[in-house]
Amino acid sequence: MTVPSAPAYTSDEMMTVAAARRLRGGSCFVGIGLPSVAANLARRTHAPDLVLIYESGTVGAKPSRPPLSIGDGELAETADAVVSVPEIFNYWLQPGRIDVGFLGAAQIDRFANINTTVIGPYDAPKVRLPGAGGAPEIAASCREVTVIVRQSPRAFVDRVDFVTSVGFGSGPGDRERLGLRGSGPRTVITDLGVLEPDPVTCELVLTHLHPGVTLEAVRAATGWELAAAPGLLETEPPTAQELAALRSLTGGRP
């Protein structure tokens, strides 16, 4: 059945909108790619005061469209302040000043550890990925972390091939033991739904299904036995306003 007034959207658009909604305000250390689009959407819709921080040293950037790189000129031109790279990591990130770290992932595991380094063995990788960049310290030091990643059995694995950035390590107590001062990943947003760490076990469990997605489909796209939180919710579909703002940011590309 089709509801005539409901706007059509793609699963990627649903993912980006759901991620943007999680950013309420404060400051956000933005990774490039999917996080950058969602953070810019949040700033264009419900969170106009959201402070976007890119690792190029641009603090309070207000780009008119998501940049291709973390160092596009418009980020510096529109920023409240442009600082050096040592300064962005040492003075701004490391002391825990930044509210949300917003990251992507090539692989993520049941304890929300992130791999962006290699698929397969390190010395003979099947795929050599770009590596760590700013992510290990973003994951360690931001007050909390949001992850946005498309869900598939290749990406959602029981144990990542390489821990580039720590989520909850091997489980409860690991972050404290390692001296990681931020609270770690609070939300993982995918094209199928939303996962959050169980407050006791730290294991990612499904809390929201996007409209039209079944629990079975999410489980089939997950490399461990995914549990659903009690009272599994359905994500509100994107509003016409959210979709219009998103498409104006991405130049209409779904």
Question: What does the binding site for other proteins look like in residue numbers (CB under 8 A)?
Answer: 32-33, 55-58, 67-73, 75-77, 82, 84-86, 89-90, 93-94, 117, 122, 125, 127-137, 140-141, 162-166, 169, 174-175, 178-181
Contact 147, 136 (CB under 8 A): no
We find the least distance from the C-beta atom of residue 162 to other proteins, in angstroms, to be 5
Measured at the CA of 101, the angle between CA 253 and CA 163, to 5 degrees, comes to 100
- The verdict on whether 55 is a catalytic residue reads yes
Nearer to other proteins, 82 or 232 (CB): 82
| Active-site pick, 55, 137, 203, 242 | 55
Q: Strand 127-128 relative to strand 118-119: parallel, antiparallel, unpaired?
A: antiparallel
- What is the rounded distance in angstroms from the CA atom of residue 182 to the CA atom of residue 95? 10
Could you tell me the end-to-end alpha-carbon distance of the chain, in angstroms, rounded to an integer?
Answer: 23
Contact 235, 208 (CB under 8 A): yes
We find the least distance from the C-beta atom of residue 174 to other proteins, in angstroms, to be 7
Contact 114, 108 (CB under 8 A): yes
Nearer to other proteins, 132 or 205 (CB): 132
Residue 79 structure tokens: 């920023």
We find the least distance from the C-beta atom of residue 115 to other proteins, in angstroms, to be 9
Nearer to other proteins, 30 or 194 (CB): 30
Nearer to other proteins, 99 or 137 (CB): 137
Residue 36 structure tokens: 């950058």
We find the least distance from the C-beta atom of residue 237 to other proteins, in angstroms, to be 28
> Which residues are known catalytic residues?
55
